[in-house]
Structure 1
Amino acid sequence: MGASELYTELNRQFINGQWTDGSSTRQTENVNPYDQSKIHDFQLASIADVDAAYHAAKVAQKSWEATTPVERIALIQRLEEVLQARGEEIINWLIRESGSTRLKATIELGAAQGITAEAKTFPLRVNGEILPTSVPGQQSRIYRKALGVIGVISPWNFPFHLSMRSVITALALGNTVVLKPASDTPVTGGTLLAKIFEEAGFPAGVINVVVGAGSEIGDYFVEHAVPSLISFTGSTEVGKRVGQLAVGGKYIKRIALELGGNAPMVVLDDADLKQAVDLTLMGRFMHQGQICMSTNRVIVDAKVYDEFVSLLEQKVKSLAVGDPDIMGTLIGPIINQSQKDNVLRIIEQAKADGATLLVGGETQGNIIPPHVFINVDPQSALAREESFGPVLPVIKANDEAHALELANDTEYGLSSAVCTSNHERGVNFALGIEAGMTHINDITVDDQSHAPFGGEKNSGLGRFNGHWIIEEFTRTHWVTLQTTPREYPI
């Protein structure tokens, strides 16, 4: 198939290099969240399909791990070429299936291309070690080996990148993969990747995709005997369940969890307020706030609070809302009815709790316009819940120390940001935040392929990207070699 031909059969399972219908009795409709048009029907996977996928991955793994680094690098290079050639097709699928704006979809494709380029270096970065030893005639060696089969469960908000981030990394390191995408994005999180890897020439069984209902195959996917690690990206609630099943079940396995967040944007009293407003709005409203790193609350020093709020009110009213296929649109549709209902619940609860609605608007279909609240109680649900929608609470801090206290007053610790004109003040403040990532004078949303990505507290376990993910997705094997006979007191 040439890149000029659009992919077909994207509503089927991909197991051991074959495209098949799922064997579940259940079907689902894949729906465009913007206009509610049906994309296609999907015959879902059963636990028998999960068995087949894991079996295929297990059979393929040893020969895949035995390929040379040069061979794997060549395939990843081919994958990069396919991603480039298929770029517009991928972007259009993200807009159509996940409700991504064209801006966000373009950013997401770039992120996937970035992690692919980084993964291309991994086969030559899996290094062993020689240890000193006090035993005469002994060599003490450390080998790093592939884990085996990795099960990947990806979310619907950045489906293409967050699937690719785990899949390409696992494959580059000699593992094989079974991927279960979110039900809302079975193509952009699953079968679209399968087509791309197939076109790039990856062997059968190396990547497998099963699209099924969580209630039917979710627990089984995690508890299965084959995978050595489960990589899960999604909500903290579901992530806790995955952790319990993976560690507390019959087969103990490793886990990589990237979960929810409640990212603060802290505006100190010396900040450039116009810049702070721009960073707040981009960090909150890109992809309708449906990003784990999204600015979930902005904490502003009392000395500049009123001026910040005035500038914020003016700017937020200018944000483009509506058709995600228009490049200027920042805020598009919420992914589904359930998520929309939850965002609307949060808005009504905020009003009931006494927060003042500064900017709002009427919902049209799945489009919720930006909502900004002031006079927000830091202990209210609005300040403490992850809204995952276009809702922004503005919280007043008495001073810098109080701002840091408010920033850390959360069960989450994924991303964060601080605005200040004093760079070292910003660094000192950043180091006081209990989070995996802090950005000074920038938005809370950032994911660079060579930098450690992950959170603290209830935001997850482990780190993605760079040498951190190499450690997560490989195992250490200590080997000693006794070159001369060793004497024992027996």
Structure 2
Amino acid sequence: MNTQFEHIFINGEWRKGSSEKTIKNINPYTEEEILTIQSANEDDLNEAYEQAKQAQKSWGKELPQIKRGVLEKLVQVMNENKDFILEWLIKEAGSTAMKAEAEFQAAMNIVKEASTYPYRIEGSILPSQTPGKENRVYRDPLGVIGVISPWNFPFHLAIRSIASAIGTGNSVVVKPSTDTPVTGGLIFASLFEEAGLPKGVLNVVVGRGSEIGDAIVAHPVPRLISFTGSTEVGRHIGELAGKGLKKTALELGGNNVFIVLEDANLDQAVESALFGKFYHQGQICMATNRIFVQEDIYDQFADKFIQGVNKLQAGDPKEKSTHIGPLINRSQVDRILEDIDKTVQQGAEVRTGGEASGNLLQPTVLTGVRNNMPLAENEIFGPVAILIPFKDEEDVLSMANEFPYGLSGAVHSGSLERGVQLARKVETGMIHVNDQPVNDEAHMPFGGEKDSGLGRFNGHWVLEEFTTVKWVSVQHEKRDYGPFSNL
């Protein structure tokens, strides 16, 4: 397997980027440099898009069994290199061993689902209002797709778009986050290269946002931009794409709710909340942001929850006993500590945690939080839990839907029907009853509402995103054009 990760990858060739700037790849736990990459500039990006455009012409026409065969081979290559992939996820993304394993399996499920897409590209024949006419609808690839991948679940969230695009006959140019250039981009160049993907179908450009961030969206070649990241950046991407009349698939920020009703199974709710909040240090778009607990059981839930948090181990992500690894960089730690301080100043209480060493932030719980405090209003994206009391369902719905986000969520209740009815009233793209918000299945529609994004990934929903339809009518019999006929 090729490991020239200090290079970029264009048209099947590993080469140095053309920018004068470099990107240092840093281990977030040890804060040591892993490698240095020569950045790509706009010339590299332009070549990547042009090569992708040429490669797509033949790839889009390739037989379905050939497309499927490449993705099936990718499954084999991923399994053969699993330990290598997990090692990179731990040292580059700060993944715990548990999270790295789960991310690998999620990515594997995506590739297996995508391998079915070449045989699921369906057209249709529809009736016509015109005598002797047949209406045909053909479904075709969009062409070239630009993918901007994030740093939190880089392997899974990058392959979600890459494999789906390739499985539907498109070619791809990937710009990974500069925090995870390997697991969010370059590693796929190696994996697909070994799987036999034709040159030019996948290209990876590692570059700074200041040099190629806007250009990867505004370039005239791509017809869709797939982005996973913050709402602020997603909105900017949407504006740039709109100017070029491009499609976008945007999975953006969340302020996800976890609602515990007074009839809930308390132990189950606590265990679920621990996972949904602290899995991968809370650095997940779907992670729980606000834990709402009905007043009658608030203190009891808080005591049990804090007991569980105090058992979590924070430390080296390589150790299998570690629950909480490092945040991706110090700026994330400082941002969260500032919001903790502001929230405490407004009357909340830190019940456990609240201390940081390097990029490692101790698992933290605050009680006495109100919905208008900084930690409630902002997406935390870290190992900090806030507990907010509520009176009744009307009260919690008002708070849950107050902010302009709607990605995921959870409701716990002893009555499944009560839980479902409340869940349907929460304005969100996904929500889970008697579970936690971090769920992603390769065949289920993944995406948010409001400021949490546009479009849906996975299953047949991504076929709609990554393809287009063409109406071709066929006039089998001579048509009567009225006064224009027989002139």
Same fold (TM over 0.5): yes
Secondary structure of 1:304's aligned partner: helix
**For 2:440 and 2:16, how far apart are their aligned partners in 1?**
35
| Equivalence map 1:184-263=2 (5 Å) | 184-248=179-243, 251-263=244-256
Inter-partner Cα distance in structure 2 for 1:54 and 1:293: 32
Q: Which runs of 4+ in 1 moved over 2 A?
A: none
Please identify, of 430-439 and 403-412, the stretch whose mean Cα deviation from structure 2 is larger.
Answer: 403-412
Question: Is 1:120 matched with 2:118?
Answer: no
Task: Report deviation, 1:485.
Answer: 1.9
Indicate conservation of the 8 Å contact 2:337/2:354, yes or no.
Answer: no
Structure 2 residues without counterparts, runs of 5 or longer:
none
Contact 1:22 1:49 in 2 (8 A): yes
Q: CA deviation at 1:239?
A: 0.2
- The equivalent of 2:291 in structure 1 is 298
SS of corresponding position for 1:255: strand
CA contact (8 A) 1:11 1:42 kept: yes
**Deviations along 1:449-470, whole A, 9 cap, x unmatched?**
0000000010000000000000
SS of corresponding position for 2:105: helix
CA offsets, 1:396-428, max 9 Å, x none? 001122122222121100000011111111111
Report which stretch shifted further, 103-112 or 353-362: 353-362
* Contact 2:96–2:318, Cα closer than 8 Å, also in 1: yes
Contact 1:11 1:191 in 2 (8 A): no
CA RMSD of aligned residues (A): 0.9
The Cα of 1:69 is off from its aligned counterpart by 0.6
- Cα deviations by residue, 1:23-45 (Å, 9 ceiling, x for unpaired): 00101210100001110111000
Displacement, 1:143?
Answer: 0.6
Output aligned runs, 1:32-431, within 5 Å. 32-248=27-243, 251-431=244-424
Alignment of 1:447-486 (within 5 A): 447-486=440-479
Output the CA distance in 1 between the equivalents of 2:99 and 2:314: 13
How big is the shift at 1:361? 4.2
1:245 aligned counterpart, secondary structure: helix
SS of match in other structure, 2:296: coil
Do the aligned residues in 2 keep the contact of 1:138 with 1:480 (CA within 8 Å)?
yes
Match of 2:18 in 1: 23
Using the alignment, how far apart are the partners of 1:220 and 1:73 within structure 2? 32
Identity of aligned residues (%): 51
User: How far apart, in 2, do the equivalents of 1:276 and 1:321 lie?
Assistant: 22
Shift of 1:374: 0.6
Task: Name the aligned partner's letter for residue 46 of structure 1.
Answer: N
Which residue pairs with 1:4 in the alignment? none
CA distance in 2, matches of 1:397, 1:364: 34
1:298 touches 1:395 (CA, 8 Å); kept in 2?
A: yes
Report Cα offsets for 1:152-184 as digits up to 9, x if no partner.
001000001100000000000000000000000
Residue segments in structure 1 that go unaligned for 5+ positions in a row: 2-6
Amino acid at match of 2:85: I
Residue deviations 1:232-269 (CA, integer Å, cap 9, x gap)? 10000000000000002xx2110010000011100000
Q: Aligned equivalents of 1:298 and 1:373: distance in 2?
A: 10
Task: Give me the whole-angstrom Cα distance separating, in 2, the residues matched to 1:328 and 1:430.
Answer: 34
Deviation at 1:134, TM superposition (A): 1.7
How far, CA to CA, are the matches of 1:124 and 1:353 in structure 2? Answer: 57
**In structure 1, the residue corresponding to 2:180 is in which secondary structure?**
coil
Asked whether the 8 Å contact 2:104–2:156 carries over to 1, the reply is: yes
